[in-house]
Structure 1
Amino acid sequence: MKCGSNSDRQGCKNNQNEALKLKLVAIVSILMTSMIGVCLPLFSHTIPALQRDTNLFVLVKAFASGVILATGYMHVLPDSFDCLMSDCLPENPWRKFPFTTFVAMISAILTLSIDSYAMSCFKKKKLENGDGNDGDCVQNNAKIESQNGHVHGEVFKCDGKGSQLIRYRVVAQVLELGIIVHSIMIGLSMGASDNPCTIRPLVAAICFHQLFEGMGLGGCILQADYGMRMKSTLVLFFSITTPFGIALGIGLSNVYSENSPTSLIVVGLLNACSAGLLNYMALVDLLAYDFMGTKLQNNIKLQSWAYLAVLLGAGGMSIMAIWA
């Protein structure tokens, strides 16, 4: 590997014309696969077995959550290590301090803070406005019993449904942010490469990756219960991000080098941020939230099948790390 130039696979020469054809095929196929993956859960309401509260939907969501978890640990994190531990970077400080894990840790903490502050702000705004449309806190006239007698007044009755909806919406938006960062990096690297032997296996691998990752994101968007405009926006951004990255890489191929020190540092740090975000979201907001919820806690058999679904999703995505 030469520092300052795009790496070549041994035994396979660069071919700019053939590589460009493969990139154009990749743009179309990845765009279509991404749209199919993210839209599948959104149209699941037309299939009775895939309604949001059914056991099958729970298993599909567990499978998709496993895919997202493996994406963070098996794809994004190793990519960051490869960049920040590269021989093209000076030994001090890049190979003397584990920047990848440090940045991923900080990213996870920041994701937690965004998650927490967003929930607090939404709840506070609802209380100030007395808005009970989502079932979070409904302002009603009520009679409060006390030891000394009866007191009449206005109180807030909270049933938790609105709070749950807010959480789903925060999860959907933050998760999409992490996926978009990583998707741009994948597309940029592919678009800047002129090696057909590098691009060819990536096309199929990224298509499968986007399909299953899109299913996970689509499930979160479905639970967030957005209006059509917001749903369309989230679907569009997820679908076009990787193709946009490829197109950007093609446009910058003459000036962008994936092995230049600047590129390695920027891509490595962004991937580390994305890894921390995805790992937190998969473990805390998706898996832990569902597995500690009432539905799975009250059904040990379903819980066991859900664990198997997580392992299948994570295992399948881990195997894809061989090619992408």
Structure 2
Amino acid sequence: MGKHFGTGVILATGFIHMFPGAIFSLTDPCLPPLFRSYAAFAGLFAMLAALIFHLVEFVATQNIPDSTGAALADVPISCSTVLGTDRAPPCSHSESTNLGHGHGHDHEHGHCHAHTTLFAEEGAAARRISTYLLEVGIALHSVLVGLALGTAEGAEFVSLLAALCFHQFFEGIALGSRIAELQYSARWMPIANALAYAITTPIGTALGVVFRSVYRARSPVTLIVQGALDAVSAGILIYTALVNLMAQEFAQKSFKALPRGSKGLYMGSLYLGAMAMSIIGIWA
């Protein structure tokens, strides 16, 4: 439930918290004529971010099946060797004899298992890459909201702080549930991933406090930089939520095999996460 709730949070963060702000900044009357003459810069930057992240994922996962397949091409027909483990016993000669076409069947059996291993490894690698890309998008967004908090004053600061506490908490659930699913070779890696998210908003807040005296919310440079970053973050989060999280999670055979009540519960968690983050959009 927490995982699917987090997916809804990420989706709403992109659509509700980031993209409208990008449109607002990149269509401001204070901008140069180039930006006033083309009202679709926010959509352009978001689309480019999604395309670039798609390309990064494609390139990063492209060599996984090939390199693993090459390593398995000359492996003996023993099932245990193909699987890379000694838990499965090799096919016996008596089985081959009884089947009449023993060698052919034995090769077929190993071939099937090899592909299963390839798909499992490719899926794990793709999930790891998509999680790291998701963290990049959330971290970028967290720095921006921290910057907004650091430059806020008076009653605006209090209301914004309260809203951002819930905002970052929900995003933490979204990212943390994905980090917890990964397999790590070292114990410090998940801790480092969690800390990387935890410090981004304080860093942004500190930068806002430092540059508060020179920060001008309506200056052309501020509007362009903030709008572009908001749009890029929105593109990353929307792409990740729709493609890597929703499309993959709900298309898995394991999800389709769940009881109807469980499916409804997880779908409801997705919608509840999107609704909660959309409501927070009233204040932050």
After TM superposition, the score normalised by the length of structure 1 is 0.72
Query: Is 1:212 paired with 2:154?
Result: no
Work out the CA distance in 1 between the residues paired with 2:228 and 2:214.
Answer: 20
Cα pair 2:142 2:204 within 8 Å, conserved: yes
Structure 2 unaligned residues grouped into runs of 5+:
73-81
| Residue equivalent to 1:175 | 134
Is 2:213 the partner of 1:254? yes
Deviation at 1:121, TM superposition (A): 3.2
SS of the aligned residue for 1:323 comes to: coil
1:235 maps to 2:194: yes
Q: CA deviation at 1:108?
A: 1.1
* 1:60 and 2:11 matched: no
Query: 2:31 maps to which residue?
Result: 89
What is the alpha-carbon distance in structure 1 between the residues aligned to residue 67 and residue 115 of structure 2? 14
2:67 & 2:150 partners in 1: Cα distance? Answer: 44
1:196 pairs with one of 154, 158, 162:
154
Contact 1:165 1:223 in 2 (8 A): no
Q: Is the Cα contact below 8 Å between 1:139 and 1:157 reproduced in 2?
A: no
Query: Which 4+ runs in 1 deviate beyond 6 A?
Result: 139-143, 151-156
Inter-partner Cα distance in structure 2 for 1:90 and 1:192: 24
SS of residue in 2 equivalent to 1:157: helix
Percentage of identical aligned residues = 34
Amino acid of the structure 1 residue aligned with 2:22: S
Does residue 71 of structure 1 match 2:13?
A: yes
Distance 2:217 2:67 in 1: 45
Q: Which residue of 1 aligns with 2:76?
A: none
State the 1:91 CA deviation: 4.3
Considering fraction of residues, name the structure with more helix: 2
Task: Pick the aligned partner of 1:263 from 195, 210, 222.
Answer: 222
Cα RMSD after superposing both structures: 2.7
Instruction: Measure, in 2, the Cα distance between the counterparts of 1:109 and 1:273.
Output: 11
Amino acid at match of 2:281: A
The structure with the largest alpha-carbon Rg is 2
Distance 1:228 1:129, change over 3 A: farther
Of 161, 168, 179, the match for 2:120: 161
Give the aligned partner of residue 114 of structure 1: 56
TM-score (norm 2): 0.82
Contact kept in structure 2, 1:166 and 1:224, CA below 8 Å: no
Q: Distance in 2 between matches of 1:76 and 1:108?
A: 14
For structure 1, the residue ranges without an aligned partner over 5 or more in a row are 1-58, 131-136
Structure 2 distance, partners of 1:261, 1:93, is 10
Higher relative strand content: 1
